[in-house]
Structure 1
Amino acid sequence: MKLLRLALAAVLALVTIGYGGAVGYMYFNQRAFQYDPHGEITPLANSGLTGGEDVAIPVGDGEVVNGWYHAPQPGKPLIIYYKGNSQSFTAEHERYVRFVADGYGFLAFDYRGFPASPGTLSEANILADSIAAYDWAAAKDFPIVIWGRSLGTGPATHVASQKESLALLLETPFLSAVTVAAERYPVLPVNWVMLDQFRSNEWIAGVTEPVFVGHGTADRTIAVSNGERLYELAPNKDELWIVPGADHSDLWDAGIWDKAKAFFIRSGAVTQ
């Protein structure tokens, strides 16, 4: 009996040590798991855009975030586009070409730590960069709509809760980043140890703009329930667009741009 107790104690000690080691490893390497800041930079000259310009937006301490800007045509708004979690914002140049072709302006950029913007990658910097981008765009004195995709839905929601715009579009959003982490690593105490939690579920309460959420039922990166729950928390709901069978990167091909244009008209951002 004594030997059994000793054996059980030894097993428990090994499990505890192993679990603690796993938690420690995840804690010290968590940003490497959370972010994917790699990819090629497409030069503006090779993007297919005409009339756009490279911009460098100051973000404090002598640092800048780099992006592209194009003014809208009369009667159309400026889209501030908050990118997702992989590659450079320049990889999505197809989107910007469509925006401009339909008369919309846009500002898109890389957060610090992503390919086009050197610096330290963290939630605090992403949120600061996103506010700085909004302030830069607002100084152009055009109507503004905010579009966040994936990771970018966090800063987009945060900015919309702090600043004025005419509409907030969230493409494949999370309820919070820590919610996704808890779904992915249910045995780890992510609520206690995760540094960059992006609590959109709290920020959405301060969003007075109409909110559109798009998500796919087959999303393997951020489960569709995240988008559904976040939409339910929005004070000013416009539309919840759920695409059967769509994965995380499928909404553009599924027609989200047509949905977005209709949403921007409904929100009053388009005046002619």
Structure 2
Amino acid sequence: MLKKIAVGVLVLALVIYGGLLAFLYVNQRAFFFNPAGEIFDPDAVGLDAEIVMIPTSDDEVITGWYAPPSGDEPTILYLKGNSGSFSAEYERFVSFTDAGYGFLSVDYRGFPLSPGEITQDNLLADALAAFDWLAEREEEIVVWGRSLGASPAVWVASQRDAEALLLETPFYSAVSVAAERYPFAPVAWLMLDQFHTNDWIGAVEEPVFVAHGTADRTVSVSNGERLYAEAPNPHQIWIEEGADHSDLWARGIWERAQVFFNEAEQGG
């Protein structure tokens, strides 16, 4: 009788565990990506920027905002994170243009302004398409990737020539972050969009600046530290004590970014 009970308990545990893994697998993109969000118009937020449509892979199109530089500063290709529309970050774009920088930012496919399916391959293709579109118009491009956007930013820098690469709260790889959150699950087998940023950083020739906070509860600071350690051309790492995942703009990343971009342009 005890043996039958033990077997029954084991079978039940396996069924529950299997059901949990199945739930994680089926819903993983809903956990990873949060595309819903408010859409803003550049005119409404006082930004002199053009709404652009950029062809990407599979004959699809992504939507973005573009403004050329007003002086001798480079143009920033800004690649957003995993939630909402890039347009919600208009405060940053206003600061870019006020300082004379140009910028281009887009919604990846599946995010508010761009129809399509959210997948790793689509995000990487969209980021590359944005860079190529920008390279037809601007000679000096710096790439800024925030959170999830740091991964396609590294991919772009590994495939194209930019002036500099800034990574704000990057992950070492998406699968490594998932393994931290779900240590009970074989995420390396289950995860569809693994974003192996660590595999691409070795091909990045551009100078690299990494910014992270010690209190980041979304992507632990060790991710940024490990990624920076593997960059072939590390320029600087800024670890802000007590900063969480979305705190770095208020804590001065833009001021530090301008110094970095200037030093990278001067070859320093």
Establish whether TM, by shorter chain, passes 0.5.
yes
- Which residue number corresponds to residue 48 of structure 1? 46
| Counterpart amino acid of residue 172 in structure 2 | L
Q: How does 1:113-262 map to 2 (within 5 A)?
A: 113-262=110-259
Q: Report the CA distance between 1:78 and its aligned residue.
A: 0.7
Q: CA RMSD in A?
A: 1.1
Corresponding residue SS for 2:236? strand
**How many residues are matched?**
267
- Which residue number corresponds to residue 30 of structure 1? 28
| Counterpart amino acid of residue 57 in structure 1 | I
TM-score relative to the length of structure 2: 0.98
Q: Which runs of 5+ in 1 are unaligned?
A: none
Distance (Å, rounded) in 1 between the aligned partners of 2:138 and 2:46: 26
| Counterpart amino acid of residue 45 in structure 1 | D
| Counterpart amino acid of residue 222 in structure 1 | V
Contact 2:67 2:102 survives alignment (8 Å): yes
Q: Report the CA distance between 1:47 and its aligned residue.
A: 1.9
Contact 1:72 1:78 survives alignment (8 Å): yes
Choose which of 2, 5, 10 in structure 2 pairs with 1:4. 2
Mean CA deviation greater in 102-111 or 59-68? 59-68
TM-score relative to the length of structure 1: 0.96
Q: Report the CA distance between 1:113 and its aligned residue.
A: 0.4
| Counterpart amino acid of residue 89 in structure 1 | F
Distance (Å, rounded) in 1 between the aligned partners of 2:194 and 2:152: 11
Q: Deviating runs (4+, > 3 A) in structure 1?
A: none
Structure 1 residues 170 and 252 mapped into 2: Cα distance closer, same or farther (>3 Å)? same
- Which residue number corresponds to residue 65 of structure 1? 62
Corresponding residue SS for 2:73? coil
Corresponding residue SS for 2:215? coil
Corresponding residue SS for 1:267? helix
Deviations 1:81-115 (A, max 9, x none): 00011110000000000000101000001000000
Distance (Å, rounded) in 2 between the aligned partners of 1:47 and 1:86: 20
Contact 1:216 1:245 survives alignment (8 Å): yes
Contact 2:39 2:112 survives alignment (8 Å): yes
Corresponding residue SS for 1:251? coil
Contact 2:214 2:239 survives alignment (8 Å): yes
What percent of counterpart residues are identical? 57
Distance (Å, rounded) in 2 between the aligned partners of 1:101 and 1:180: 36
Q: Which runs of 5+ in 2 are unaligned?
A: none
